[in-house]
Amino acid sequence: MSSVHECAVGVDIGATKIAAGLVDGSGRVLASQTVPTPEAGGEEAFHAVVQVVGQIKQHAQRHDLCIRGVGVGTAGQVDSKKGAVRSATINLPEWGGIPLAERIRAEVELPVRIDNDGNVALLAEVWAGAAQGHEHALGLTLGTGIGGGVVTGGRILHGTWGGAAELGHVCVNLGGPRCTCGSNGCMEVYASGRGMVERLQERLMARPGDASAAARAYVSKHGLDRVTAALVFAWARAGDKLACETLDEANAALAYGVTSLIHVFNPTVVVVGGGVVAANPSIVPELAERVHGLGMPSLVQAVSITAARFGAWSGVIGAAALILQDEAVYG
């Protein structure tokens, strides 16, 4: 007897954890399994993926649920046509070059689709979250770095091989700090968690006398290396001058970058999520206010700028949507 529910397995592969979930046709996570990402990456990470998918598959079988396929969102650059990871991030070693879709398919005997984590996070929001029903949407995930996704005409923007939508690597200051991508002054160097920490560390080194007593005491006890994004927000809330400057710079960088992207895509919605937003939710209304006063009124004024609905689950839900909303992916 087949179930009324048609489900997919969504897998979210990050540098710290691998999560798999059984997701139904309305975007609900019916069951899930999370394991730490093996530090060795590569084959060990692959086997961890196969293991969690197998557990979810067994769960579905026990509950008589039909699985249409396995969707995978992964860190790193993804060749979405070939279903392969093209290049890994430094935090997920030996991950580049793996023909991930083909290898998972061989293990689990289900259709498999993979995409990068930025695209998948936006797809979750367009399917069942804060951008539901929007045909033209931009997504930013503000975490350690900045992930991006674009949906245009109802479909994920992939570009030539799937490398499109690196929205964190839009330059907003050509004279700014060097970015890991090779360019300078990208949104990511100012508004990602790592970027804010680095910018505050620079200020603390250059102008220690401008720091608050609390910030100075922390640095003197724990060292500059132990500054975190959470501390940037906490110190800024307490009025620390250098933390306020750092946060203001991040807000400005985001506003100029997002305005540029609205000029380029003419979307109706921009969804902003990730750990930075979770830790400092006011960044989203602040961004909306700035963007609506910048750029071409005909393009920026009607755009809704909103927080993501799905937090930590956006990867799993969006990955499942690669299967359940396939017209949005390859339509």
What residues line the site for a copy of itself (CB under 8 A)?
77, 86-87, 135-136, 148, 150, 152-153, 157-167, 169-175, 181-186, 252-253, 256-257, 259-261, 263-268, 293-299
Return the structure tokens found at 35: 């394991």
Return the structure tokens found at 34: 């999370």
- Beta carbon nearer to a copy of itself, 68 or 136: 136
**Closest approach of Cβ 158 to a copy of itself, in Å?**
7
- Beta carbon nearer to a copy of itself, 35 or 181: 181
Mapped to the 3 state alphabet, what secondary structure does 28-51 carry? CEEEEEEEECCCCCHHHHHHHHHH
**Closest approach of Cβ 86 to a copy of itself, in Å?**
7
**Closest approach of Cβ 85 to a copy of itself, in Å?**
12
**Closest approach of Cβ 109 to a copy of itself, in Å?**
31
- Beta carbon nearer to a copy of itself, 56 or 261: 261
Tracing tokens 């603390």 back to the chain, one arrives at: 204
Beta strands 112-116; 17-23: pairing state: unpaired
- Beta carbon nearer to a copy of itself, 29 or 157: 157
- Beta carbon nearer to a copy of itself, 22 or 252: 252
Inter-CA distances, 102 with 42, 70, 87, 194, 251, Å: 15, 11, 17, 34, 41
Encode 246-260: b = buried (16+ Cβ within 10 Å), e = exposed. bbebbbbbbbbbbbb
**Closest approach of Cβ 200 to a copy of itself, in Å?**
19
Beta strands 66-74; 6-13: pairing state: parallel
